[in-house]
Amino acid sequence: MLNPVTEKIEENLRAILPEAAFRDLEPRYLEEPRGRYSGSDGLLIAPGSTAEVSAVVKAACEARVSIVPYGGGTGLVGGQIAEEGQRPIILSLERMTAIRETYPLENIMVVEAGAILANVQEAASDVDRLFPLSLASEGSARIGGLLATNAGGVNVLRYGNARDLCLGIEAVLPNGKILNGLKRLRKDNTGYDLRHLLIGAEGTLGVITAASLRLYPQPQSEGVALMVVADPEAALRLLALAQSRLGQGISAFELIGRMGLEFLVETKQNVRQPFETKPEWMVLVDVGLGAGMQADAALEELFMAASQEGLVSDGLIARSEADRAAFWAVRESIPAANRAVGSVSSHDISVPLGAIPDFIKKGPKVIEKIGDFRINCFGHVGDGNLHYNVFPQTGRSRADHENERSAIKRAVHDLAHSFGGSVSAEHGIGRLKVDDLERYGDPAKLAAMRAVKGAIDPVGIMNPGAVVRV
Q: Where are the domains of the chain?
A: 7-92, 99-217, 221-340, 342-418
Contacts for 96 with CB less than 8 Å, ≥ 6 apart: 47, 48, 49, 50, 53, 112, 113, 114, 115, 209, 210
How much of the chain, in percent, has pLDDT values that exceed 70?
100
Domains 221-340 and 342-418 fall in the same CATH topology = yes
Nearest in space to 222 (alpha carbons), one of 145, 125, 299, 151: 299
Residue 34: predicted pLDDT? 78
For the cut 90, the answer to whether the pLDDT of residue 35 exceeds it is no
CATH topology of domain 99-217: 3.30.465
Residue 84: predicted pLDDT? 82
Say how far apart CA 69 and CA 60 lie, in whole Å: 13
> Does the CA dihedral 113-436-159-136 come out positive or negative?
negative
Residue 314: predicted pLDDT? 97
Residue 470: predicted pLDDT? 84
| The CATH number of the domain covering residues in 7-92 | 3.30.43.10
Residue 279: predicted pLDDT? 97
Domain 221-340 class, CATH top level: alpha beta
CB 115, CB 97: distance < 8 Å: yes
Per the prediction, the chain carries an average pLDDT of 95
pTM for this model (two decimals)? 0.94
Distance of CA 305 to the CA centre of its chain: 34
pLDDT digits (tens, 9 = 90+) for 416-451: 999 999 999 988 999 999 999 999 999 999 999 999
Residue 1: pLDDT band by 50, 70, 90 thresholds? confident
Residue 198: pLDDT band by 50, 70, 90 thresholds? very high
Residue 120: predicted pLDDT? 98
For the cut 80, the answer to whether the pLDDT of residue 86 exceeds it is yes
Q: With the CA atoms of 217, 223, 228 and 230 taken in that order, what torsion angle do they form, in degrees rounded to the nearest 10?
A: -30
Domain 342-418 class, CATH top level: alpha beta
For the cut 80, the answer to whether the pLDDT of residue 410 exceeds it is yes
